[in-house]
Every structure is written in structure tokens, then in C-alpha cells.
Amino acid sequence: MNSPSEKYAVGYGRPPEHSKWKKGQCGNPKRIRKRSIKPVATMVDEFFAREINVIENGISQRRSAFEIIFMQLCKKATAGNTRALRVVKMYMDFAASRDSSDGIRLEIVDDKPRSKQQGGENG
């Protein structure tokens, strides 16, 4: 048998010492690295933000996934589907609860103060 003092024989199935894998080293160093786990909210936002080609009235358009889902829910809700109506209400409540600084903010401003009409109105 081989003793530690003998010279290491390089040959078939016995690579040189300098090219052997070190302990803990991976055999495929260019392997796909593990990605960090995304938060659920980020994954949902990415899903809703992606754009899909849709053919509507014979015209191809790109729309976001959320827009397509919301349009389908509204269509079902107007047809009388109560479950779709509840989901649309939940989306609207969620949108109202979020900070509106990111979106468009509408405010009605009336320059003239309203006064009571004189004449035909009973008080």
C-alpha cells in the first residue's frame, strides 16, 4: 500500500494535489447562486405591475395585470356577481387606506361662498 512518505502517483482517477477540490469547495463554482427571498408584498407588486398583451375589440393593447383583473371583476360585479362585488369593494377600501401622496389627489375648491337663494325656497 501507499505510505505517506511515498510520492503521490498522478494518473487515472488520481488528480494532482494542487487541482483537487478543497474541503467544502463546490464542484461547480459557476453554479446559480441562491437568491435572497423576496418579501410577499414585493412579489405581489411585481405581479400586478407586469404588462400583458390584450386584444380588446380587435385591437391589441398592453395593460397591467392589475388593470385586467380589476376590469374583469367590475364586469362580473355589474352582471350581478356578489362575490366579485365584495372583492371590488375590498380593493377600493384598500386603495382608500393607502397613502394618497403617491397618486393623484383631487380636491374641489369653491371660490364663492354659497348663499341661500332668495324667493322660491321654503326655509
**Residue percentage of the chain with pLDDT more than 70:** 71
Residues 27, 31: Cα–Cα separation, whole Å: 9
* pTM (2 d.p.): 0.48
- What local confidence, expressed as pLDDT, does residue 100 receive? 60
10 Å Cβ neighbour count for 26? Answer: 8
**Regions of the chain short of the pLDDT cut 50:** 5, 103-106, 123
Q: Which residue type, as a one-letter code, is found at position 99?
A: D
Query: Could you please report the per-residue DSSP string of 22-73?
Result: PTT--S-TTSPPPPPPPPHHHHHHHHHH-EEEEEETTEEEEEEHHHHHHHHH
- What local confidence, expressed as pLDDT, does residue 75 receive? 92
Contacts of 108 (CB under 8 A, 6+ apart): none
- What local confidence, expressed as pLDDT, does residue 79 receive? 92
CA torsion sign for 85, 86, 89, 91 is negative
Q: Is 11 helix (H, G, I), strand (E, B) or coil?
A: strand
